[in-house]
Structure 1
Amino acid sequence: MRYSLEQLETFAAVANAGSFSAAARHLGKTQSTVSTAIANLEIDLGVALFDRTSRIPGLTDAGRKLLREAELILERCLALDAHANALGEDVERKLTLAIEVPHNTLMAPLTDFAEAFPYVDLDIRHPVHGDVTTLVGDGTADFGIGFAKPRYSRDFSFTQMGKLTLIHVVSREHPLAREARVDFSVLRQHRRLIFSAHGETLPSTEYLEATRVWQADSFLALLEMMRAGLGWTTLPRQMIRHGLERGEFVELQLSAYPHTDWHVGVDLVWAKAHVMGPACNWLIKRMAQHKVFELDRNGNPTTL
């Protein structure tokens, strides 16, 4: 490459300013310096960039096409400078998050983070058996977001982000989908698909015992198994709201709990001893401000 970035900057300046003299004033250079830079660039590229037959030079066809290329190169240079500046300010290169809850509930703060720290990579882990404190405690994750636990070790700090509603659901082809009200005795006759982290921890879960149980540590795995008609399961309403609206899934109405919603808190958890950089600090504060909430049948936020 024989031409320089300074020549490309001059080329773009002349094209945008409309004349050599205006570009010279914008760049703080003499007109002769600008003219020389453009002439040398034309020699290096082997094409005429400007038509000088009129009093005000205009771009040639080749100039218009190469201008786009030059502007792309200059934009990438600005991105390189920004990335280098970020690294020079000791901003972390990567953060690791342990997320147990449905990811769609966290897109707003993650979108803001992408704009505030465009060069910090994110590694999102799903905690084994749904326990975010394991990954946070051993330093694998910088912080975690999961369903609330009754107590945390003194090594952790936490704040509640909100609550989600869990519902019992089956596919529309499942035998239970035809029941207007479901007794516990009938429920026990069918396979139960359990989120490993919840196990027997949901409210009144002792009444939901089943003789056949499949477990998974992923909501998506439970969703696909339920969709295939392999059993009934308990999932966050936000995760399957559209499937309910389309009639693809059916919410079970338990005869003993006709008016009871099953609410579970969502907590933001981090290790007290963890030394956080600027990006991690920013994201934790933004997550703490973010509220996880349920949506009604019309997609409007509801207060639990």
Structure 2
Amino acid sequence: MRWSLDQLEILVACAERGSFSSAARHLGRAQSAVSTAIAHLEADLDCPLFDRSGRLPRLTQAGEALLHEARAVIRQCQRLDARARAIAQGEEARLVLAIDEALVEMPPVDETLEALARHYPALQLTLLYGAQGDIAGWVEDRTADLGILLRQQGQGPVLEGIGIAHLQQALVVARDHPLAALASPTVGDLAAHRQLMIASRGEDDRQAPLTAQFWRLNSFYSMAELATRGLGWALVPRHIAHYPPFRDDLVELAGEALGTPPVIEVETVSRRDADRGPIARWLRHTLGERFRDRRWR
């Protein structure tokens, strides 16, 4: 291969400007230099690119086909230059982001990923979705650089969590569950039935159940699914209670004796000893803004 990027740029200019002279003026070069570059490119590629029999040169069939390839090569070179500049300025070349499955299909998260693609097109991004306990574990063992999850206890000394939003929770049961028939259920009523609880990472940091009958799960979506089947009552983020597969089969329990369900915090986690690049910092900031804009409470 003896052709150069400069020759490809001249080919594109000639094709877009319609003549060698117009391309020369656009590139700030002598027409003879442009003509010579095209002739050398044709020799290097071993095929004619322009038909010069008319008043103005016209792309041959081979020239039309290779013009598309030339543009693709130029675009790739532009991406390489942009990526090299970004890396030189300290931006991460790649990022592994772990996201709690409870935050899947949430507009603030999806909108942030869309903005990330626009602002940092050269970034190589890997997305890992997992249950709540998986996220902190992946960040801790360096499988992921940054995690987004619903806050839990027992993250360990190497992780740092930064809160970015609060989500309202809902106390739910299946429509045909005995608790659903009570006008004003009490804590004592809840204690008479199975509780479905989220499982935290550490044995010592688990929240105490309200009843002797309880199951622990590592997924809020699984909790909601089992609740629809009448297997117990559960405290889940409200957006999960309203998720289309569940919302018609669940009812929220409410009453003065139960009070207002607590909120749950959304946070990002990273290792304390890890470098925080500008893209990771941008992600944290933008996620917080998106949640605040939509008032996810």
TM-score bucket (shorter structure):
0.7 to 0.9
Structure 2 spans left out of the alignment, 5+ residues: none
1:200-237: CA deviation from partner (whole Å, max 9, x where unpaired): 64xxx86x4251x3222223433444455544433212
Tell me, yes or no, if the aligned pair for 1:225 and 1:231 is still in contact at 8 Å.
yes
Tell me, yes or no, if the aligned pair for 1:87 and 1:93 is still in contact at 8 Å.
yes
Is residue 2:110 matched to residue 1:107? Answer: yes
Task: Show the counterpart of 1:238.
Answer: 239
Task: Show the counterpart of 1:48.
Answer: 48
Q: Note the C-alpha offset of 1:13.
A: 0.9
CA distance in 1, matches of 2:193, 2:289: 38
Tell me, yes or no, if the aligned pair for 1:194 and 1:222 is still in contact at 8 Å.
yes
Query: Which of 7-16 and 56-65 deviates more?
Result: 56-65
TM-score (norm 1): 0.72
Task: Show the counterpart of 1:292.
Answer: 291
1:172-199: CA deviation from partner (whole Å, max 9, x where unpaired): 6x54596364735664555432211399
What's the % identity of the aligned pairs? 32
Which amino acid is 1:217 matched to? N
TM-score (norm 2): 0.74
Determine which of 151, 161, 165 is the counterpart of 2:164.
161
Aligned to 2:291, what secondary structure does the other structure show?
coil
CA distance in 1, matches of 2:172, 2:131: 24
Query: Which of 67-76 and 102-111 deviates more?
Result: 102-111
**Structure 1 pair 168–35 and aligned structure 2 pair: CA distance change class (3 A):** same
Task: Show the counterpart of 2:211.
Answer: 209
**Structure 1 pair 227–60 and aligned structure 2 pair: CA distance change class (3 A):** farther
Q: In the comparison of the two structures, how many residue pairs are matched?
A: 289
Determine which of 119, 122, 126 is the counterpart of 2:123.
119
The CA RMSD over aligned residues, in Å, is 4.0
Q: How does 1:1-304 map to 2 (within 5 A)?
A: 1-97=1-97, 99-100=99-100, 102-103=103-104, 104=106, 105-117=108-120, 118-122=122-126, 124=128, 126=130, 129=133, 132=136, 142-148=145-151, 159-170=162-173, 175=177, 179=181, 181=183, 183=185, 187-188=190-191, 190-197=193-200, 201=207, 208-209=210-211, 211=213, 213-226=214-227, 230-243=231-244, 247-256=247-256, 260-269=260-269, 274-287=274-287, 289-292=288-291, 301-302=294-295, 304=297
Which amino acid is 1:243 matched to? P
**Structure 1 pair 41–263 and aligned structure 2 pair: CA distance change class (3 A):** same
